[in-house]
Structure 1
Amino acid sequence: MINFQYSRAADVADAILLLTAHPGAKLIAGGTNLIDLMKKNVEQPSWLIDISRLPLRKIEETADGGLRIGALLPNSDLAYHPLIEQRYPLVASAILAGASAQLRNMASVGGNLMQRTRCAYFYDTATPCNKRTPGSGCSAIDGLNRNHAILGTSAACIATNPSDMSVALAALGALVHIAGPSGERTMALTDFHRLPGDTPHIDTNLDTAEIITAIELPRRGFAHNYSYLKVRDRLSYAFALVSVAAALELEGNAISEARVALGGVAHKPWRSFEAEAALRGQAATVEHFSHAADLLLQGARASAHNGFKVELARRAIVRTLMQAASATPQSQAHKKIA
């Protein structure tokens, strides 16, 4: 681990000033991802700015009936908050599917959005990686790529986004509140993360010296017909091979509104508005869910070792939509898939 300077921000404005003054700086809250990366010399920040004591831990009602969640609220506090459990159980389920209880106690909501890929080549500084050293090449493309992306890939990178929470937030249409030198702005969660293109080292559309201050959930929470299914190599403490966040509104057996997002398959949470539109007005049947899966997986491109992900994702999408339609969400306490 390299030497670095340390400052504690007094408030959001102070954090922005420190980021502006120290271009190589990184923000640290729970540190559950950043510290690991620093230990492995993947991240080498010249300055750490501690924002853990900023007053960004509240959950507040918004004027239009949604919720605004402070960026420093621990993941565990969010998952078990009564308003989240009652109105946005999809978010709670996704959080509880990820990491371990100890990590969820430390990790912040904003930090969850900012965590970096778990690609083994990204973590191995002895191998070329365009995310770590732009222009050096992608070792995963011709390497062991069983866990890698099948959607939205590029010739520069096939890494996946590791977040579970972000998949649920994408499905629900969450917003990200951001503060920076030019003031405050809001961005859709679906626009926050980037596909790799030819700049895979840039994970998000957060500008230099900006900071996430809150996540906003819209009024519609799909609290009855939802499910979060995470398929992984072991039943706990493993990243997704494929995950699916599904949410439906039904009128009888007809779908009036549908949301589906995928994790473990792309550089960002993957959502298809075309697939969701195709479900509206249709009966909640395996046939229609299979068609939606085909639309979600349009353009999927497998590498040497992850071709199984295409069929796995298709089956997971159908299974999760069936769980949502029958109001029998996947249990995160008993992770065996029903």
Structure 2
Amino acid sequence: MNNFSYTKAYSVDEAVSLTNVNEDNKFIAGGTNIIDLMKYFVTEAETLIDINKIEGKRDIVGLDNGGILIGALMTNADTAYHPLIEEKYPLLSKAILAGASAQIRNMATNGGNLLQRTRCYYFYDIHTPCNKRTPGSGCSAIKGYNRIHAILGHSENCIAVFPSDMCVALAALAAIVHISGLDGDRTLAFSDFHRLPGDTPNIDNNLKKGEVITGIELPGNGFSKNYSYLKLRDRSSYAFALVSVATGLELEDGLIKEARIALGGVSHKPWRVQEAEEFLKGKKADAENFAAAADIILQGAAGFEHNGFKIKLAKKAIVRNCMMALDPSSQRPGAKPSL
């Protein structure tokens, strides 16, 4: 780990001002990812700016439009177990609790969750080429061991995946990210926050230099009656997803009035295809239609030597999760989906 300075910011304006003093200054809140990156020499910081003392960013605030604004400094655990989240946005609660460990969720913040970096083995190994870490050096994963890597949205420069569980649910819920910077406050649709790798895999998101996430807005409809989050992984806890699916459905007279489906573990960002959701509108909520929607979602999917299985796995996961969303009680341990 390189030597660094440490300071605290007591307001959003102060935090933004401090980080813009030097391009190598970085924010720290929970520190559950950036400290690892610094220990492995993947990233360096001239100064770590502790933003935990900023007031008003650890709360959930009701909005006039029926939605809520979740503070960026609220921990993942406090968010998942908040009565309002459990009642109105259980999909988000379930996704958060599927991620990391209890200890990490107690430290990790919501804003930091959006900013975490890939867990690609080659990204963390500074002795191997990685375009995400060192642009232009190459992608070791393409011809390496790529079992956990992307099947959608990848490029010849990077096949890494985004690891968050929380963000898969936020994508399905069509969240809005609240941001502050030198130019003032702005919002960004969650679908536009993270980036595909393209020619610049080193850029994970569309934050501008020195901007800080202040909150995450959720719309009024939390799909609290019909929802499910499914995470398929190599072990039952403290493992990143091979494929994950967040589903929210609104049903009326046995037909699908609205559908939201987002995938994790398959791309450089949470993967949501609105064409598939439009296809499901007005249709019967059954495995056949969910399978057809899955085919739309997975159009263009392409695997590599070790991860081709994820295409078939993703389709099965989508269908299974959508069926589970018809009866959220099926998500209890030991329960079987109504297939």
After TM superposition, the score normalised by the length of structure 2 is 0.97
Which runs of structure 2 are paired with 1:1-338 in the superposition (5 Å)? 1-55=1-55, 56-328=57-329, 330-331=331-332, 334=333
Give 3-state SS (helix, strand or coil) of 2:314's partner. helix
44-53 or 207-216, which moves further after superposition? 44-53
Structure 2 distance, partners of 1:194, 1:318, is 26
RMSD, aligned α-carbons: 1.1
Structure 1 distance, partners of 2:192, 2:162, is 14
Structure 1 distance, partners of 2:120, 2:126, is 12
Structure 1 distance, partners of 2:91, 2:334, is 15
Kindly state the Cα deviation for residue 328 of structure 1 after the two structures are TM-superposed: 3.3
Structure 2 distance, partners of 1:194, 1:73, is 24
Give 3-state SS (helix, strand or coil) of 2:95's partner. helix
Structure 2: gaps (5+ residues): none
Structure 2 distance, partners of 1:202, 1:77, is 29
Cα displacement string for residues 183-214 of structure 1 (whole angstroms, at most 9, x for unaligned residues): 00000111100000010000000000100000
Kindly state the Cα deviation for residue 7 of structure 1 after the two structures are TM-superposed: 1.4
47-56 or 276-285, which moves further after superposition? 47-56
Structure 2 distance, partners of 1:135, 1:83, is 46
Give 3-state SS (helix, strand or coil) of 2:151's partner. coil
50-59 or 90-99, which moves further after superposition? 50-59
Cα displacement string for residues 159-205 of structure 1 (whole angstroms, at most 9, x for unaligned residues): 00000000000000100000000000000111100000010000000
Structure 1 distance, partners of 2:335, 2:32, is 27
Q: Aligned residue pairs: how many?
A: 336
**Does the Cα contact within 8 Å between 1:235 and 1:335 map onto a contact in 2?**
no
Structure 1: gaps (5+ residues): none
CA 1:234–1:52 in 2, change beyond 3 Å: closer, same or farther? same
Structure 2 distance, partners of 1:208, 1:119, is 24
Cα displacement string for residues 133-170 of structure 1 (whole angstroms, at most 9, x for unaligned residues): 01100000000000000000000000000000000000
Task: Give every structure 1 segment of 4 or more consecutive aligned residues whose post-TM-superposition deviation is greater than 4 Å.
Answer: 335-338
Could you tell me which amino acid in structure 2 is paired with residue 143 of structure 1?
G
Kindly state the Cα deviation for residue 23 of structure 1 after the two structures are TM-superposed: 1.1
Structure 1 distance, partners of 2:277, 2:27, is 36
Structure 2 distance, partners of 1:41, 1:115, is 16
**Does the Cα contact within 8 Å between 1:115 and 1:163 map onto a contact in 2?**
yes
**Does the Cα contact within 8 Å between 1:193 and 1:268 map onto a contact in 2?**
yes
CA 1:42–1:337 in 2, change beyond 3 Å: closer, same or farther? farther
Could you tell me which amino acid in structure 2 is paired with residue 17 of structure 1?
S
Structure 2 distance, partners of 1:17, 1:85, is 36
Cα displacement string for residues 268-297 of structure 1 (whole angstroms, at most 9, x for unaligned residues): 000000000000000001110000000000
Kindly state the Cα deviation for residue 252 of structure 1 after the two structures are TM-superposed: 2.2
Structure 2 distance, partners of 1:337, 1:290, is 18
**Does the Cα contact within 8 Å between 1:228 and 1:329 map onto a contact in 2?**
no
Cα displacement string for residues 226-262 of structure 1 (whole angstroms, at most 9, x for unaligned residues): 0000000001110000000001001121000000000
After TM superposition, the score normalised by the length of structure 1 is 0.98
Kindly state the Cα deviation for residue 335 of structure 1 after the two structures are TM-superposed: 8.1
Cα displacement string for residues 278-317 of structure 1 (whole angstroms, at most 9, x for unaligned residues): 0000000111000000000011010110000000000000
Structure 2 distance, partners of 1:276, 1:303, is 27
Structure 1 distance, partners of 2:280, 2:63, is 29
Give 3-state SS (helix, strand or coil) of 2:185's partner. strand
Kindly state the Cα deviation for residue 6 of structure 1 after the two structures are TM-superposed: 1.4
Structure 2 distance, partners of 1:276, 1:328, is 23
**Does the Cα contact within 8 Å between 1:98 and 1:164 map onto a contact in 2?**
yes
**Does the Cα contact within 8 Å between 2:330 and 2:336 map onto a contact in 1?**
no
Kindly state the Cα deviation for residue 60 of structure 1 after the two structures are TM-superposed: 0.5
Structure 2 distance, partners of 1:60, 1:335, is 36
Structure 1 distance, partners of 2:21, 2:31, is 22
Kindly state the Cα deviation for residue 32 of structure 1 after the two structures are TM-superposed: 0.2
Give 3-state SS (helix, strand or coil) of 2:316's partner. helix
Could you tell me which amino acid in structure 2 is paired with residue 217 of structure 1?
L
Could you tell me which amino acid in structure 1 is paired with residue 12 of structure 2?
V
Structure 1 distance, partners of 2:54, 2:327, is 42
